[in-house]
Each structure stands twice: as structure tokens, then as C-alpha cells.
Amino acid sequence: MAATMATMAVTTPVVAGLGGSSLRRRAVSPSKVQLTSGLKFSPFNRDWLRKDLSVVGFGLIGWLAPSSIPVINGNSLTGLFLASIGPELAHFPTGPSVTSPFWLWLITWHVGLFVVLTLGQIGFKGRKDGYWSVLL
């Protein structure tokens, strides 16, 4: 039995039709590919995010300031969000219930933050690249 298993492990099945074929791949540099229009193909810019910490800092301040204004029954969005964390941590092993207001404040606060960060990134990089000077 052990001999048969060893023989089965050594032999590999040959797929009919592919035994004699050879698939060769030719390496082509992406910078040398010519398009039909004659323009060279430029590869995707690897630094597409172009991370800048000043955008994160200004975006966080730009979201914390308006979200801290007490306009929701005398409370701010940031205050409601932070105040809802404590009662949920009080029963820690159990997560927040679906009907908990914690989810509303969590989602609203973070969607606002991400919108401000995205628009800040677009505006900051657009100004740095001179995009807005063309429009103004």
C-alpha cells in the first residue's frame, strides 16, 4: 500500500493536447508599448494618493470645529458621539444593539469626517498642481 502511494505521488498526470506545447511569454516593458495614435503608454502612477499630513491635520480641525457646534437639541454631533461610547462600553462584552443611537452618531460623524478629508485632499492637491488657477 505504501509503495503504491509513493508511486502515485511521483507520477503526475499529463493533460492531453498540452504535452508537447510550449507557452512562451515575451516580456515587454510598459514604457515601450506604442498605442495606435503614436503616443507612448505611461504606466499608472504608483504614488496616486500623494499623502500629505497637512491635509489630515487641517481636515480633522475642519471637521471637529463645525461638528462641535451645539445644534442638535443643545448638543453637538461630536459630543453626542463621544457621550454614546461610554454607555456602550459599560456592557463591554456585549456589543451595541442595532437600535442604539451610537450607530447613528458613529456613522454620521465618520461620513462627515471622510467627506471633509476627501474634499480637502482634492482641493489641496488641485491648488498645488495649479488646477484651480486655470478655472479662476
CB atoms within 10 A of CB 112: 15
pLDDT at 128: 81
Measured between its terminal Cα atoms, the distance across the chain in Å is 83
Q: How far apart are CA 105 and CA 80, in angstroms?
A: 7
pLDDT tens digits for 100-113? Answer: 999 999 999 999 99
Q: Return the axis-axis angle of helices 53-67 and 101-128, rounded to nearest 10°.
A: 140
The pLDDT of 54-66, averaged and rounded, is 92
pLDDT tens digits for 31-52? Answer: 555 555 555 666 767 776 677 7
Of 16 and 65, more confident: 65
Of 116 and 12, more confident: 116
Percent of the chain with pLDDT over 90: 45
